[in-house]
Structure 1
Amino acid sequence: MKYGLALAALSGWLMFSCSQPTQQPGSDISTDGAQILKGKKLFEQHCSTCHNFNEDAIGPNLSGLTRQVESAWIKSFIKNSAALIEAQDERALSVLAKYKSPMPAFPDFSDQDLDDLLSYLHTFETLPLEIVGDTTSNLIPERIQESGIRLEVEFFAQLPPTDSVSPLAKMTKMEAIPGTERLFINDQRIGLYEIENQIPRLYLNLLEYRPAMVSKPGWATGVGSFAFHPNFESNGLFYTSHTEPGGTAPSDFGFTDSLKVFMQWVLTEWKADDPKAKVFKGTDREILRIDNASQAHGMQELTFNPNSKKGDPDYGLLYVGFGDGGTAEKRFPDISNHKGSGVYSSILRIDPLGKDGINGQYGIPKINPFAGQEGKAGEIVAYGFRNPNRVFWDEKGNLHATDIGQHSIEEINRIEPGKFYGWPIREGTFTINPFGSFRSLYPLPSDDEKYGVTYPLIQLEHDETVAIIGGYTLPYGPLQGKFVFGDIPSGRLFFADLSESSNPLVQTWGVIHEGKEVNLKELFNTSRVDLKFGQDHSGLVYIMSKAEGKIYRIKRN
């Protein structure tokens, strides 16, 4: 949501008292019809995922916005909100206080683009009603406690920049090929690197093989994830997910034609001629293509069960985390509330070497809970997730997933086959109305059991974390046996013992670098961390930031 995200923070001024501008807001905005149409196209392409003009959605109701705030400030905020915050601009600071994270700079949005967009916004005259209080505050009154634990980190590597402005690199995952010391990491804009002797070298230039791939707008586009087959050393197989524009090719799974296909997520199998080669050379084939209504909440996780051995039921089966594609925000909640009949908002498990899937390019594992059931999607392991961006196992072999929430609650779920995890009628242990305001949550109904919802193992409110990202169970140090995770924008770090049966205690931890305690914003020299985690063959865990493409290793001491 490149431009939509920038606008998402703008509601902070709607109730902000400031001095009167020298002219009436909006009086400088063009009403030229052609310019309005250009602005409408920009809005629909880049902003409509997050915004409408009727009510707050993932972002604020923008109706009447240009009639309350001077145009120059709006343009400056979209161009570079961090600069306004650094200059201690009061209005920008109020936005930051409300939304917890500054917006990235957008220098490639031209002045003419900004003028066109404001012309379109200015056609909506109705001012939004003032909301008294925050209906989602203090849902979870208990505060996360500081553990006092500090782990020492050291610089490990840096990805080459793939853009001239932050984020300079866009990694989401770093893991080793199973059974080897070879360590791989993705950059969403280009493909896969192998890190050897702390130096990244491009292994797969996916963009060359798939020139239709796009990594804009938004952070969730491009090469979303990758996974090497557990038998890669013998069969040379690995898998990637990436985005292409809507309509690039016929899809295997889609939705009603009244909802525009904005992007498509593509699952690809690659077969290396020589699994030991340092640069990929081989063949590839498309396994699956799924339509997405926005750039958000797509195929951001691919993984194999690292505990599975040859002969185990799920050995060689590929797990796929797929979100709601932004369909709930667009008021099509039934696409994700499918009761097991669709693939959206689901954790999928497929046999990439099978042939009985919907397109004959993959198989449906017989161990899946809905395999062979009429009216059900045999690919599903579990469903009811807004954005299951990490799928992982604890030390006892239990399957879990982190799920990024809408406006209020972040989740870690313990996954049980065939279960429904609530989205889009639940956010955490609260009711959400998918046809109403996504900012409003309500108590569970008295007949809640009839909905069959399985609730989170851990839930955190947005006054603690804005967008959850899962890490790994640390096999060493003061947090040995604890699962470490964090908040993507701020870089705040948490841990919990997932082996606990219910209500695991969540605490914060921090890092020490070169003898000094620092937070991740300081460590990565950025106001938005874009936190990710990685792990190598020996169990060492890494923390990473897209801002400058830097990777730090948590030391074993």
Structure 2
Amino acid sequence: MKKPEILVAFLGLVLFACQSEKNDFGSEISSDASQILKGKTLFEQQCSTCHNFNEDAIGPNLSGLTRQVETQWIRDFIKNPGAAIDAKDPRAVELLAKYKTQMPGFPALSDQDIDALLSYMHTFETLPIPISGDTTSNLIPERVQDSGIRLELELFTQLPASDTVPPLAKMTKMEPIPGTPRLFINDQRIGLYEIENQKPVLFLNLKEKRPAMVSKPGWATGVGSFAFHPEFEKNGLFYTSHTEPGGTAPSDFGYTDSLSVFMQWVLTEWKAEDPRAKIFKGTDREILRIDNASQAHGMQELTFNPHAQKGDADFGLLYIGYGDGGTAEKRFAAISNHQGKGIYSSILRIDPAGTDGKNGKYGIPKINPFAGKSGLAGEVVAYGFRNPNRVFWDDKGNLHATDIGQHSIEEINRIEPGKFYGWPIREGTFVINPFGSFRTLYPLPADDAKIGVTYPLIQLEHDETVAVIGGYMVSEGLLKGKFVFGDVPSGRLFFVDLNESSSPVTQSWGVTFGGKEISMKTLVNHDRVDLKFGIDSDKKVYIMSKTEGKVYRIK
């Protein structure tokens, strides 16, 4: 019997058992086998990163939901959860309070799609854990104190809308070409814009160059990052990462056949014929292609060491932040916990001009800690990160990374070559069981040192921030010398002195606009801010929001 037929037969038995009992909810949901299979496919594509039927994940356990909640409520919530929250719906408000982030709406799903999702969900009859209590609350008793600092913002620019519903634009990064005032920003759905006289001008239409590129589902798909070579003005080289559907082309790095490939992350080198041109014209080549098990935690960062000078061992080497690809949540913890043998959950460093890498299209720098060591991945600088979405250097040249946690702890790590940073057996300074509940953490054991984990420089619990994002070093004003960062969903703003001590103290700060203090949610007119940061050649820091596609400059 083929696998789909086995699944249909199994689901049929489940449905027969379920239909033998009287249920208050879900009696109108179809049990058609083909619709269930369609719903399963939709669930894996659209929902599985945040939900499953075994336990709470980024969102709640959905097992038995259709038997406990009104079907129409579920329909409406899938389409537009923000409307339910705005209407103060008790269930929606309670979900937001527990999970600390608003589920994205799925207005593009048709009624027939939602019917199929409901049919699949209805095959799971166990009721979910009630929305009360949290086994991981108050792990860090110290609260972040408000510094009282308020900085004035001014509207700098706005990207063209690339969708009709928020987020209207999906920028993740804004940085200048090294050594020039030319300022660039990405829209994950489109490509790269140059900001000229505070207006965006499309420089590279990556979607046109790579028709296979996809920018949904998920907030992190599409053009994930970009980086200009430190000698771009001479060689015209720059780099982008983007997503394509799983199986688009043979990959350079993958994993066990028992875990499906949902997407692929692609690293591309572009060479401009004229580095001064305002619209890209030139050649390109694919450097690297990596399989990803979900739409999450992929190639979120590309960057060069800004402190490296020509002649330094680190000059011209490309750093890549690559997460676990959702593999831990799919219970394939070994892919993340690879002890240096793989490339997932790692900060990588490659030489784009080299040829001794796995596919001959890049080089492995000799300064990498595992370079030339049998059985180890020479590309890896450090590993054990769930989602190292920003890699950066402080003013003294120390390497750091922000790492988005699972349910409890957000991290800023000081990176040392060859070190293991804990994921997926640690979240912050707590033990996590990658085969148990991700919402349950435990204290470190007495013999923890033998595990060899390097712990965060800064850790914040989810009652402070649920998705950390850096951030730049501030060069002037009240926050001079401080590193600013924030919380992606809420837009809450923080700063820290990275040179303060071995345990820097995090404080919060706020903004004013038009002379009046304002929250980021009010400023962007949405409950989800989708916060990002940018910087220009004068080291002025910017705050960006995907919601309306606006960029604000700190005055």
Q: Same fold (TM over 0.5)?
A: yes
Alignment of 1:509-528 (within 5 A): 509-528=509-528
- Following superposition, the deviation at residue 420 of structure 1 comes to 0.3
- Following superposition, the deviation at residue 100 of structure 1 comes to 2.2
Structure 1 CA distance, aligned partners of 2:366 and 2:40?
Answer: 48
Deviations, residues 403-447 of structure 1 (Å, cap 9, x unaligned):
000000000000000000000000000000000000000001111
Q: 1:83 is matched with which residue? A: 83
Structure 2 CA distance, aligned partners of 1:130 and 1:99?
Answer: 13
Q: 1:451 is matched with which residue? A: 451
- Following superposition, the deviation at residue 542 of structure 1 comes to 0.3
Deviations, residues 315-334 of structure 1 (Å, cap 9, x unaligned):
00000000000000000000
Q: 1:58 is matched with which residue? A: 58
Structure 1 CA distance, aligned partners of 2:103 and 2:343?
Answer: 32
Q: 2:18 is matched with which residue? A: none
- Following superposition, the deviation at residue 206 of structure 1 comes to 0.5
Alignment of 1:461-540 (within 5 A): 461-540=461-540
Task: Give the partner amino acid of 2:277.
Answer: A
Q: 1:210 is matched with which residue? A: 210
Q: Does 1:378 align with 2:389?
A: no
- Following superposition, the deviation at residue 93 of structure 1 comes to 1.5
Q: 1:399 is matched with which residue? A: 399
Alignment of 1:323-472 (within 5 A): 323-472=323-472
8 Å Cα contact 1:104/1:166 also seen in 2: no
Structure 2 CA distance, aligned partners of 1:105 and 1:448?
Answer: 42
Comparing 121-130 with 476-485, which one deviates more in the overlay? 121-130
Q: Does 1:141 align with 2:141?
A: yes
Alignment of 1:170-189 (within 5 A): 170-189=170-189
- Following superposition, the deviation at residue 48 of structure 1 comes to 2.2
CA separation of 1:406/1:447 partners in 2, compared to 1, >3 Å: closer, same or farther?
Answer: same
Structure 2 CA distance, aligned partners of 1:458 and 1:519?
Answer: 24
8 Å Cα contact 1:390/1:401 also seen in 2: yes
8 Å Cα contact 2:486/2:492 also seen in 1: yes
Structure 1 CA distance, aligned partners of 2:240 and 2:553?
Answer: 25
Task: Give the partner amino acid of 1:148.
Answer: G
Structure 2 CA distance, aligned partners of 1:289 and 1:412?
Answer: 27
Q: 1:49 is matched with which residue? A: 49
Q: 1:169 is matched with which residue? A: 169
Task: Give the partner amino acid of 2:32.
Answer: D
Q: 1:5 is matched with which residue? A: none
Alignment of 1:242-261 (within 5 A): 242-261=242-261
- Following superposition, the deviation at residue 32 of structure 1 comes to 1.9
Structure 1 CA distance, aligned partners of 2:367 and 2:133?
Answer: 48
8 Å Cα contact 1:105/1:166 also seen in 2: no
Structure 2 CA distance, aligned partners of 1:516 and 1:216?
Answer: 36
8 Å Cα contact 2:61/2:129 also seen in 1: no
- Following superposition, the deviation at residue 57 of structure 1 comes to 3.0
Task: Give the partner amino acid of 2:389.
Answer: N
Give the TM-score, by structure 2 length.
Answer: 0.95
For structure 2, the residue ranges without an aligned partner over 5 or more in a row are 1-22
Q: 1:18 is matched with which residue? A: none
- Following superposition, the deviation at residue 191 of structure 1 comes to 0.3
Structure 2 CA distance, aligned partners of 1:24 and 1:139?
Answer: 39
- Following superposition, the deviation at residue 131 of structure 1 comes to 8.1
- Following superposition, the deviation at residue 130 of structure 1 comes to 5.0
Q: 2:8 is matched with which residue? A: none
Task: Give the partner amino acid of 1:294.
Answer: S
Q: 2:17 is matched with which residue? A: none
Structure 2 CA distance, aligned partners of 1:132 and 1:523?
Answer: 32
8 Å Cα contact 1:179/1:537 also seen in 2: yes
Structure 2 CA distance, aligned partners of 1:321 and 1:102?
Answer: 25
8 Å Cα contact 2:405/2:427 also seen in 1: yes
- Following superposition, the deviation at residue 36 of structure 1 comes to 1.5
Task: Give the partner amino acid of 1:476.
Answer: E
Deviations, residues 332-374 of structure 1 (Å, cap 9, x unaligned):
0000100001100000000000110001100010111111111
For structure 1, the residue ranges without an aligned partner over 5 or more in a row are 1-22
Q: 1:20 is matched with which residue? A: none
Structure 1 CA distance, aligned partners of 2:282 and 2:129?
Answer: 59
Task: Give the partner amino acid of 1:499.
Answer: N
Alignment of 1:100-115 (within 5 A): 100-115=100-115
Deviations, residues 377-405 of structure 1 (Å, cap 9, x unaligned):
11111000000000000011000000000
8 Å Cα contact 1:58/1:438 also seen in 2: no
Structure 2 CA distance, aligned partners of 1:45 and 1:132?
Answer: 29
Task: Give the partner amino acid of 2:41.
Answer: K
Task: Give the partner amino acid of 2:95.
Answer: V
3-state SS, counterpart of residue 241 of structure 1: strand
Give the TM-score, by structure 1 length.
Answer: 0.94
- Following superposition, the deviation at residue 209 of structure 1 comes to 1.0
Task: Give the partner amino acid of 1:334.
Answer: A
8 Å Cα contact 2:95/2:131 also seen in 1: no
Comparing 107-116 with 323-332, which one deviates more in the overlay? 107-116
8 Å Cα contact 2:430/2:441 also seen in 1: yes
Alignment of 1:245-324 (within 5 A): 245-324=245-324
Comparing 31-40 with 458-467, which one deviates more in the overlay? 31-40
